[in-house]
Structures are given as structure tokens and as C-alpha cells.
Structure 1
Amino acid sequence: MSFGFSVGDFLAAIQLASKIRKEFADAPSQFKAISDEVRSLSIVLQDADIAFPNRELNNDEKKGLEDIDQSCRNVLDELQQILNKNSELSSPESGSVGKRIKRVWKRLKWKPEDIDELRSRISTNIGFLTAFNGRLTQDNVVRLVQHQEDLGRRAVLDWLTSIDYAPQQNDFIARRQEGTGQWLLDSTEYQSWRETNKQTLFCPGIPGAGKTILTSIIVEELTTRFSDDPTIGIAYIYFNFRRQDEQKINDLLASLLKQLAENQPSLPSTVKELYDRHKTKRTRPSLEEISRSLQAITTLYSRVFLIVDALDECQVSNSCRKRFLSEMFSLQANYGVNLFVTSRFIPEITTKFQGNISFEIRASKEDIGRYLEAHMKHLTPFDDWSQQLQDEIKVEISDAVDGMFLLAQIYLRSLDDKTTPRVVRSALSHFRRQNPGSSEDQNREVLDEAYKDIMERIYMQQPGFRRLAEKVLSWITCARRPLTTSELQHALAVVVGDSKLDEDNLERTERIISKVGLFD
């Protein structure tokens, strides 16, 4: 049984009802009414025993059925005690069982009101069980209809676009070190943007500053804060230059439309009409149609937050970036949408956000320190490092990277083969000399040097690890979109000619990171 009491408890009521039915078989006519009630209860209990184990019951339903079962057993126990009491008054030499039952009924004396009271209790329990079963049947019908509606709803939403940014969001937020980005969440700029309608928060940053992780933190904070408020709409896009084939203007607006539509309690009529208009003809909606539907969806919310990461990676061809920004600003002007946008310092982008709240993204020393402290322990020589040396590593790398989170990851990983404190300190001194300047070109030069160092260390490894590194870099470079950690593991496990994936061929995440020089 699937409810909260044991099978034996429920069967006990059935067996007791069956036993009492037999003892009532030769009852005098005045007891026929209660005999019939016991018979009806026995039948309903047996039906319930067949029906309920195949149902999925929630906690309230389990508790309700347990209460009914207990009530049934209470009245049956009381009835059995009365019969047992009168049976015990019989002489031990009472002869056959048939004669014994007759003498029991001869000696049993009930007042009419007592019989009526027991009959009423039995009848009530029959009613409870019958109503419970009816309610479950009705609930199951409702669930089936809801399931069919959900399938239809999902088919329509997937028809809009198959692009789903949720896996990326989950992957990015999983990399967050606890406390990272709190400085942004606590900032006056962010809180003013969040609490005021029709606001734009533009967050430019140098390459490797951690803009994408901070974007995922914003998405997480908003979805958590407004999780119980269905009037708040939240949608987001992670631009990536490798995904330009699926990040055309129609795709982008369709993704926002899908995200806002799927958070509605039912499929919005504007989306259903769009689907009905094109599905049978096997045509796709125009940009104007998608734009109108997006505007209509926006009106269903009291507030809407649109989060856009790496706008600089939105393709310029076919005026995609220009049209995308035009749509976003139009939604803001006409419907009070709040926009959060990150980008590198691209003049043609930054000029679009002049006059709006602007807050530069630059990894704080505290955030970098948290990352270094959490990941330092995974390096091979870590156990040989004193606390003083660990503190030196945190301070020196935090100072050397000048707000470039990516560079901090690279520098830390480069210490994996530094086996003595002197060699570690020499590497730290080298990092200081490479301190990136304020210009983006200087930052890029430092990153280039760091990447060259990674490649040199990869090719100095044993042949097996070197081949693994080459496979990893090939998958990362040639993939049409960024791969999650799990997807990369499965891609590496594929063997040409095999009919199915061999899970024994999955590489451990730790080995990919440590031997390939990647960073999480």
C-alpha cells in the first residue's frame, strides 16, 4: 500500500468485518439491519483494498485514509467485543459451533438505540470510503486532463524555439563560490535598479572579469526573491559568438517569449493563436508577429526583468544587435521593463546606454580570494604548503590579476607543478611583473601569455594526458555551443563504432581540470 499505515492494518479491518459477517449469518431478524451494514462495509473495504494501492496519494490523502481505516476498526472492534462478551457467557460444553452461535444470539440483548448508533457509525464509514474513492477518481481525471494540457503546452512552447538557457544558468551558478558577487547585490546601483520600474543597469567589464557568473548570480537572486510572486516575469539570454546560428533576432525574441509564457499558469492565448496560425501550414512566425506576442505577454505581468549577458557577442550582421536593442528599449519604454546588460567596453554598445545606471564589473579581491581559498586545496602540492605560503598566494594573485577573474584561475592552475615554496614564490613574482594594465589590449596580452603557458604545460605531460587534453580542447573549440561539464564528460567517452555509451569510459571532472589545465 502506498499510504502512511501498514498493509496489515488495513487488512485487519477487512478480516474483522468478514469474521463478524459470518457471526451475523444466523442472527435473529431484529439484527438483520446491522448485519446488512456490516456486509456493505466489508464489501467497500475489499473494494478499497483493491483500488487504493494503485493510486498515488499525497500526504493529506494518506492521513484521511488512515483516519477512515481507524474509524472502521474502532466500530468493528466494539461490535466484536459485544459478540465475544456474550459468547463467553455460554457453557464450555455448549456442543457444536452451530448451537453455540444460536445461544450467543439468544443471550445478546441490545436496546434499539444502541443498534441504531452502531448502524449509524458503520454507515458513516461506508460513506467516507465511498466519498474518498469518488474524490480520488475525480482527482485522477483532473490530473489526466492536466497532464494532457501540460504536454500540449510544452509542444507549443518547444515549437516557438528549442533554445533553452536554463542548463547554462544552472551550470554557471553551480560554479559560484559562496559569497561571490555579494558586493554587486548589495550595491546601491543594483538595489535601485531592482526596486524601480523602467530601469536599465548596464555593467561593462574587461575580458575575464567574471561578467557571466555575476549575470547568473543576478538571475538566481531575482528568481529566488520573486519565486512566490507569479506577477513578476523574468527572462534571460546568454550570448555566445559560437551560437550565432541559433541567436538570430527571431530566435532571441522567441526565447524571451517562451520563458515568459511558460511561467504563466496556462498557455497565453497570444501564443496559442500564433501556433494555430502557423503549425498546420508549417510556416514560422515573422519577427513582427513574435514582437507583438512578446509585448502582449509582457502586459500579463506587473513587472518584467530581462537579463542579457555578453551583448558584445551578439552578431552584428543583418542588424541583429541593433534590432535586438531596439526591441528591448521599446519594451522598456512602453511596458516599463527592467533591463540588465553586460558587455565588454565596445564604444558602439556603451554609447547606447549613456544616461542609464552604469556599474563596471571587476572581480573584487574578496571574491578572488574566496575562489583561491576554495580551489587551492585541489592542487597537487597543496599539502606541502604552509598557511603563510597559502596566504601569500591569495594576496599576490589577487593583486596581480587586477580584477580579472579568469586570469586568477589560470595563475592558480599554473602552480600545480610548483613543488617547493621557492618555486611558488618565483611564479608569484612573475605574475606581479605581468600585471595587466588598464587597456583592453594590455589585458589581452597578459591572457595570451597565460594561455601559452597552459599549452606548454599540456604538451609536457605524458602522452595519455596530452591526448586527453587535445580531445578536450577540440570539443570545446568545435562545439556549436558551450558544453556543460556533464556534456563534456559524455562527449569524451564516445568511441567511434560503439552502439551505446560505455559509462566506464567517463573521465572524472577532477582529472579533466588537473591534467588538461582547465578551470571550473
Structure 2
Amino acid sequence: MRLLYTAGDGRLSWTDDLVGDQIPPYAILSHTWGKQEVIFDDLKNLNSLEDIGAKSKAGWDKIRFCAQQTKRDGLDYFWVDTCCIDKSNSQELQEAINSIGWTLQELLAPASVAFYSKEGELLGDKQSLKDTIHEITGIPVEALSGSRLSDFSVDDRFSWAEKRQTTREEDRAYSLLGMFGVHLPLIYGEGEENAFYRLRDAVATKENKGRSRSQEERLGKICSWLSAPDPSTNYHKAHKQRQAETRLWLLQNARFAEWKEGAASRLWLYGIPGCGKTILSSTIIEHLLQHCDDDASMVTAYFYFDFNDTQKQDPELMLRSLLCQLLQRSSTIPKGVDALFSSCDNGQRQPSLRALLEVTSQVMRQFTHAYIVLDALDECTQRQELMDVLETVAGWQLDNVHLLMTSRKERDIESSLESYVKKKALSLCRGT
């Protein structure tokens, strides 16, 4: 994280990006965003705090107050969300949103919380105002008085955000990430309902796995580093379009049953455009997620190639997405993954495709069954690279890995899959 401080000459500056034990004590400005907030680029042009008076943005008053109050409280550093995050850096933004203190957790986590008016007048602290805070937010007085978050149920903690208002609807869910110690890829535009669905799923996975807080933080950094697209938006979109009983015949098909239970099994489902392959994939994924739900030794990971999304046309991004899903289900961070992250300067450099394949193979071996569903291979723009990746995965001959793919029946795909799919193909040109 990057902190602000006032240098001896009055100049306002940032620290380097600090991690772990490097982070000193610091103050946080928890505030409601206005229309004239100071952003990262604004501070680049600021020479000293004395220049603030000449600035036009109303948000400068907050920065000046926070700098002065930090000094009065005997601290050297402070953090303001609007201007300590470089939002032009997508990886930094992703990691920051997963780790920053949103207002709700800023209220609960620190030992000392003071409330000030817009004019800088002290109104009280968390203890003196606890009854008022409880009345407004619904947060129990015990939580405000220092009780551990783990002392309260998951449903209780979700209820604390019911009155929360955010500018972007997805932030109602994202603002709870720190409350539960989980990490999610940010998908603005997915809608509040889907954001909460993913959050609850991540919380349930963590509750089942019981990873330590340090492991959760490490995993969050690794997933941010992988910068993988989230295919759940495609899944939920297709799932909403599916009519009841649609394509359920496949789940009772003998070939599907054989694929589901067979060793090192592969199945290719092909059909003409518009025959419902993507909707069928959502049916299969839903079935497999339910199948794995009660058994942590099994996992389902999936990916949708999509002509309408450049992030979902790249074989390497597919692999990164699958790896993130596998890691979220894993009880610990596999040594190979941790070592790869460390060897890349803790996320400062990107791994090779070969290295990603190697660690993905290692992670897959941890499960008794790993179901992989890949939809619309024909919508991948790097077709040959994709075929090479799939051939590598098939070449592992892992008995616990079950690979299912859908696409149009195009000659290059058919010829590439022929060597390891053979007769394990099924036409979808039949009744629903």
C-alpha cells in the first residue's frame, strides 16, 4: 500500500509501495465521496500543503485536515482512498479494492476511531457514540466495543451492510471483502445481485477451508497478480436464459455419466450456431458445482470464450482463470504456486505460459476429481495456441481430471481434438 506523509519542507508526498512489516502506524480518512475529490493525479502537481488554498476542488480541505490531524495524533503517515491508489494501474486497483478499509470495516477494525464534522470539529469517538452508531447502522454494540468479527455469524455480518449506500451498486458487496477476509476479482457492471452471489460463494468456500488470514492475504495477492477474467458473468447470463428442464437430457446421457466418473475423461459437445451450446454449458456447470459442493476434495472450474469480450479470447487468460478457481477451492496455497509467485518478485513480473501450465497441473493433482468445462472454443481468437494448451493438458493423463469442451464443428478444432477425444464426442443437433 502507498501512504501519504508531510515532508520537513511542507511537501506532501507518497511512500513507496509498502507491504507486510514495512507498513508503519498510520491514520485513515474514512469519508463520504463527493463530486470534487482529490485523486492520484492531482497530488502529482502539488508542491506543498500551502498550495492547497489555491486549489479549486473541495476535496483538498479533507486532505489538509487529515494531514494536520495526523500530526496532532502523533503519527507521521496517513491514507486516503481517493488519492493513494493509482486507478490507471488495473493490478494496483484490483489489489487495493480487495484490501483497503471500506467505511464499515474502518468503523470496526481500528482500536481508535474519532468522528469529526465537515468543519473539523471533534464530535466524539467510537465508544462515546456507540449507541448512536448502533441505532443508525444496526451493528451490535458488542462489535463496536472490540468483540472479534468471528464471534458473529456470517448472516449477522451481512446484515450490517443492509443500510449501506454506495455510488456503484457492486460496491455494496465489494465493501464487505475485508469483513470476511476473502478476495474477489472486481467486475463493475455485473450488478449487485451477482456480486453478492460471488461474495457468498467465496465466504462459504473459506468457511469450509479455514485458511489462515495470512494465507488469505497471500492468495488475494496471487489472484490479483494473475489478473484473470471472471467467467461467472457468462455463467449467470446463460443461466438466466435457460428455461426449466432445458437440456437436462444430457445429464442423464450415458456418455455424460461415463465422462463424469471415468478416469482422464474427455468429452466434446459440438453443434451448429444457435443450438444452445452456451446455455447447455451453464446447465452442466450448475450440475457439477452442486455435485462438488459438499466434498472439498472435488472441484469444478470453467471458462467461456466470448467474441464480445477481449479478455475471454486468450488461451493464457483462460488458464489463469482456471488456476484462480482451483486455488480458491484449495485448502492451502500449493508450494509450486507460492514459489512461482516469489520467483516473479512477488508479482512484479509475469510468469511464462509453460510455468502456468506446470503449476496448474500440480494444483489439479490435489483433488480427487477436477471437472473442467470450456465453452465455445471456436470463439477463441488464438485457436492454435488454445489447441496446443489443450493437448498439453490431455497429455498429463491425470486420472482425476475430466475435461469437457463445447464448440461449433469446425475442421481445425475437430482435427486437433481427434488424437485425444477420439470417439468421445457428442452432437447437440437433437431434441432438448
Normalising by structure 2, report the TM-score: 0.49
Higher percent of residues as helix:
1
Larger Rg, first or second structure (1 or 2): 1
TM-score (normalised: structure 1): 0.41
